[in-house]
A and B are shown apart, each in its own frame.
Chain A
Amino acid sequence: MTPETFFGLFNYWIVICLMMTGFYIVISSGNLIKTVIGLNIFQTSVFLLYITMGKLTDPVKRVTAPILEGGHGDSHGDHSAHGEHVAQVSFEEHASEQLHDAVKHAHADLSEAGHGGAEHAHEVAEVLYSNPLPSVLMLTAIVVGIATTALALALIVRIREDYGTIEEDEILELDKELQ
């Protein structure tokens, strides 16, 4: 295993360790609230896994969050031109079979910027954007997660009202006695 592979996969391994800690809390703990806490930790780790996959890195270009630069101040025409440029660049990025090609291309861009002056500055300072889709999906997942957590906690309160305890083994014993 090369160091490159190691550091490339390192994030996934960290996330898996966190996930397994949450899983351990869920299956080892007999306390119902502790179980919900374990589920929450597991959930957050899954979010981290997806977000990690959506991140884009580039040796030369600036990579930033998927919030387009240029803002509302620009005119409409500027916007679309900017958009085409970004799309074109990312297409070339994906199409290039070797990373070196991309690096050379970007270097060419940069030197062109030096000669081109202020007119080109806006276009050459283009950035790559990380993937917005994992963010969108995880936003939905977070909100659904809080809904299920609330439901689980309500059930725990209800269980406590009827059984007087939130320890799993005590609840099972009470059930046995009732039978």
Chain B
Amino acid sequence: MMEFIVIPILALLFATAITVAVIRNLWAAVMFTGIYSFLGASWMLILDAPDVAFTEAAVGAGVSTILMLATLSLVPRSSRKRGSISNSDFETKDPPRRRVISSLLVVIGTGAMLIYGTLDMPLFGSADAAIQTYPAPSFIEKSQTEMGEHGLPNVVTAVLASYRGYDTLGETAVIFTAGIAVLLILRKNKASDEIGAGQSEVTS
């Protein structure tokens, strides 16, 4: 039964990705990205990865959409119209025809190579694939007895928080660094503001 749910989800995923590629309005593109993330999360749920699905729905569709909308509200296209932002301020320009053709060629070439690379990959869901044989069964087996008295039912949590805890520590370090960097970049710096104002006066 699951197979039949997958088909519309995949079709919608594909349609959303194409729409984002061709649509010119940035607001719409951001919203379609959120939809894409939600559809991806639905597929992950069917593929037995509920933890990733939740995170993708919360972070990919939620936080990242909010960040992009916030950026859009800070970046109207022309500074003179700051008082009245209209929808047309967020239209992107169509790329020149030469660029479209050359990027299509690059993308098709890369895609063909990747598809050639999949030809000797293990088939979907096969139990004798390398990924299924070595570390995963022992994680499932051991996390029941090693995590306290009753074990930890969610193996993903057990691996994330304990067996690969240093990974998670590094991840928080990355988040911390990114947060500091964003604060430093966006900090209102008077000196650089004056330089920036001077530049835009010169160029406009």
List chain A positions with a Cβ less than 8 A from chain B: 4-5, 7-14, 16-25, 27-31, 33-34, 36-38, 40-41, 44-45, 47-48, 51-58, 63-72, 74, 76, 79-80, 82-84, 86-87, 90-91, 93-94, 102, 128-136, 138-140, 142-151, 153-158, 160-167, 174, 177-178
Cβ-neighbour of A140 out of B10, B78, B107, B167 (below 8 A) = B167
B179, chain A: closest CB distance, angstroms:
8
Least CB separation from A58: chain B residue: B127
Task: Give chain A's interface secondary structure class.
Answer: helix
Tell me the complex Cα distance, A62–B193, Å: 62
Most buried by A among B30, B44, B100, B181: B44
The 7 lowest CB-CB distance pairs between A and B, nearest first, are A8-B123, A57-B125, A147-B178, A130-B48, A28-B103, A21-B17, A66-B155
Cβ-neighbour of A156 out of B75, B78, B126, B177 (below 8 A) = B75
Q: Are B107 and A30 in contact (CB under 8 A)?
A: no
Tell me the complex Cα distance, A71–B177, Å: 38
Q: Are B114 and A79 in contact (CB under 8 A)?
A: no
Could you jot down 21 A-B contacts, CB within 8 Å?
A12-B118, A14-B14, A17-B14, A28-B21, A33-B29, A44-B36, A58-B125, A67-B50, A83-B144, A129-B48, A131-B131, A132-B155, A132-B156, A133-B139, A142-B59, A143-B175, A147-B178, A153-B71, A155-B185, A162-B199, A174-B203
Tell me the complex Cα distance, A76–B92, Å: 61
A34, chain B: closest CB distance, angstroms:
6
Q: For residues 149 through 188 of chain B, which have their beta carbon under 8 Å from a beta carbon of chain A?
A: 149-151, 153-156, 159-160, 164, 167-168, 171, 174-175, 177-179, 181-182, 185-186
Q: Are B127 and A94 in contact (CB under 8 A)?
A: yes
Tell me the complex Cα distance, A48–B153, Å: 24
Q: Are B131 and A54 in contact (CB under 8 A)?
A: yes
Cβ-neighbour of B64 out of A14, A71, A72, A146 (below 8 A) = A146
Least CB separation from B114: chain A residue: A16
Write out the residue numbers on chain B whose beta carbons fall within 8 Å of the beta carbon of A129. Answer: 48, 140, 155
Least CB separation from A82: chain B residue: B144
Least CB separation from B154: chain A residue: A67
Q: Are A132 and B140 in contact (CB under 8 A)?
A: yes
Q: Are B93 and A30 in contact (CB under 8 A)?
A: yes
B1 at the interface (CB under 8 A from A): no
Q: Are B21 and A25 in contact (CB under 8 A)?
A: yes
Tell me the complex Cα distance, A34–B118, Å: 29
Known contacts A47-B56, A160-B75, A165-B77: does B44 contact A31 (CB below 8 Å)? no
Tell me the complex Cα distance, A131–B106, Å: 34
